[in-house]
Structure 1
Amino acid sequence: MAVGPPLVYADQAISIVRKKDSTGFSRDVCAILLIANITRCFFWLGKHFEFPLLLQSILMILAQLALLYICIHYRPRLSPENLGVSTRPLSFWQWGTYSQYIEFLAGYMSVFLFPS
């Protein structure tokens, strides 16, 4: 139950590495799954649910972070961040470096860690 969902993305990662091109895979998938699973982990701190679901979220976060890294490493040359063009406010989730994604996620988690 905990390992199955994250393993689904292993095939996607292998495919991207094999082709050396992440065209066709949207990093927005990583964004949605990272935000959802981080939120679920913090929800668990307030109201415990089944441990396999918590473990699934942790494994999914790790899988999506790895997939995001691979997608950035093998992004197409004509991507919005390489061209400096984005229609999103603050170029959301179309940043140029992996560290910018990590900084956003750290900021997102700080909202839960340090509530006002």
Structure 2
Amino acid sequence: MANRLGLGDEEEGDVGTLWHSLEWLTFCVMVVGGALPYASQYQQILQTKNTDGFSTHVCLVLLVANILRILFWFGKQFEVTLLLQSVVMVLTMLVMLNLCCSVQNTNRITTKQQHITDLEPRFFWSWDGFEDYLIFLLAFTLPCAFTTLLLLDSSLFVESLGFLAVLTEAMLGLPQLLQNQRKHSTTGMSVNMVLLWIAGDSFKTAYFALKQSPLQFLLCGLTQVLVDLAILYQVCLYSQDPWDKLA
């Protein structure tokens, strides 16, 4: 018997299968899509053995933001897709940091190294050992997790934690934007990474709107798209032939 849409059982099954496939594709894009832009930057650093065009402060922003977002989930359980997205992003940023440390140590001229235990504020997030970054992240995560556990029943704290998480994530492109502005150059930065940022953040923002995710996520997505477009403008501004650079 035909259903209300005039579809037979077989056609209805095909539509259901297609819809399920689209949902699964959306899930995969949301979970790993945010990490994909860094594959291009990773490959570029690996080939050139140079990290000058990539700001490791991007890693700092994303690590802090996604650790806070994971803690936010325990107070306000949003889609598991977004939780997995944060876990994947944390792992991706650790891989990027490990590569940057390896390349910088290979290229280092002096024997003097900077470590977190030196307690030098001017060398914050410019340490030579990957383990220094792990120590910082552990020192950051444990107190935050303990505080979240204590105040889990406070809606004010939970909502504030969510806003802090997405506000930090919204500043993702800011370190790269400022570095480009300071150097008046985007040389060494993967333009493909920026283009994928724009595509990914636009898709993510649309997903937040359609899924009626917490307001914090939507505001974060819109801000990220604007920053991404500003970085793309820098590519055109600082390149003598922007169309070649975008090719």
Greater helix percent: which structure? 2
What is residue 105 of structure 1 aligned with on the other side? 137
Q: How far did 1:7 drift? A: 1.0
Structure 2 residue 82 is matched with structure 1 residue 50? no
Give the structure, 1 or 2, with the largest relative contact order (CA under 8 Å, sep 6 or more). Answer: 1
* Cα deviation, residue 90, structure 1: 5.2
Which one has a bigger Cα radius of gyration? Answer: 2
2:78 maps to amino acid:
F
Provide the rounded CA distance (Å) in 1 between the counterparts of 2:32 and 2:114. 37
**Partner Cα distance (1:114, 1:25) in 2:** 33
The aligned runs of 1:14-93 (5 Å cut-off) are 14-75=43-104, 76-77=107-108, 89=121, 91-93=123-125
Amino acid at match of 1:107: A
Sequence identity percentage: 40
Q: Conserved in 1, the CA contact under 8 Å of 2:63 and 2:93?
A: yes
| Cα displacement (A) at 1:104 | 0.3
Structure 1 residues 63-72 or 106-115, which shifts more?
A: 106-115
Give the whole-Å Cα distance in 2 for the aligned partners of 1:69 and 1:28. 13
How many Å apart are 1:95 and its aligned residue?
A: 1.1
Cα pair distance change 1:83/1:55, threshold 3 Å: closer
Is the Cα contact below 8 Å between 2:69 and 2:83 reproduced in 1? yes
In structure 1, runs of 5+ residues without a counterpart are none
Q: Compute the TM-score of the two structures, normalised by the length of structure 2.
A: 0.42
Provide the residue aligned with 2:33 in structure 1.
Answer: 4
Q: 1:114: Cα distance to partner?
A: 2.3
**Aligned-pair Cα RMSD in Å:** 2.3
